[in-house]
Structure 1
């Protein structure tokens, strides 16, 4: 069962459970998936890799919105955004811990042969693809900088 089918099945479950917050987040996921399927240049299918990219983007948007709401003293809206982000994160691969991220990046640095911060771009290209959905881009970037320094 791919991610799209899983989300559809979970929408039905959320409806039956009358879980409004979860249902709202799942409908948002489905909308984004459908848009990705029908986007210009798409072949009408949605791979799990593309779906993961969409989910990562959605989580990032929700967290940024929650941060803005918090700054504007709107905690009820921030809480709603964070609740949706939590539901969306359930469909992402398990996030790497700091130690796991460091180990993965050391392997990638070894593969690319990078030795200085000037070669960070080469490492980031490989790392971003290899760790997509499993680690935040900012965390990857910071760790690569630290390891190459």
Structure 2
């Protein structure tokens, strides 16, 4: 079953259960998915749905940080609850050792050394770690390895 169908089924379950917070979050996700499908006139696959979910999580993290900085913890908690719901649809996160191994392999396959390899390495890693690691962290680790 595709990720999109899973989310749609979970919307129905949340409706039946009367779980308003979960229902609201899942409806936002389905709306974002449908909006992209309509805009681009395509049927999204799981990788594209994952990209949408990651973007939504990133937006909520940034909002949460801003709310905390603005002394609005109640709003930050709402954002964090939405993050928790959306993260249930992401694949199992990569461990540090797995991530390091993927980075090392991508650097070795790039064939270029130094910061010139950054784009090639990140391009290779993006597909492999999508939904399983924070790309900011991956980028920082790659940069540190290439500068070493």
TM-score range, shorter chain: over 0.9
Deviation, structure 1 residue 118: 3.0
Query: What TM-score, normalized by structure 1, do the two folds share?
Result: 0.92
User: How far apart, CA to CA, are the structure 1 residues paired with 2:6 and 2:117?
Assistant: 40
Greater per-residue helix proportion: 2
Query: What TM-score, normalized by structure 2, do the two folds share?
Result: 0.93
Residue aligned with 1:110, SS: helix
Match of 1:144 in 2: 142
Gaps of 5+ in 2: none
* Count of residues in correspondence between the two structures: 147
Kindly report structure 1 stretches of 4+ aligned residues shifted beyond 6 Å. Answer: none
User: How far apart, CA to CA, are the structure 2 residues paired with 1:144 and 1:3?
Assistant: 29
- RMSD over equivalenced CA pairs, Å: 1.2
Deviation, structure 1 residue 127: 1.4
Gaps of 5+ in 1: none
User: How far apart, CA to CA, are the structure 1 residues paired with 2:79 and 2:30?
Assistant: 17
Q: Is the 8 A contact 1:114 1:123 kept in 2?
A: no
Deviation, structure 1 residue 6: 0.7
Residue aligned with 2:120, SS: helix
Residue aligned with 1:86, SS: helix
Match of 1:36 in 2: 36
Match of 1:13 in 2: 13
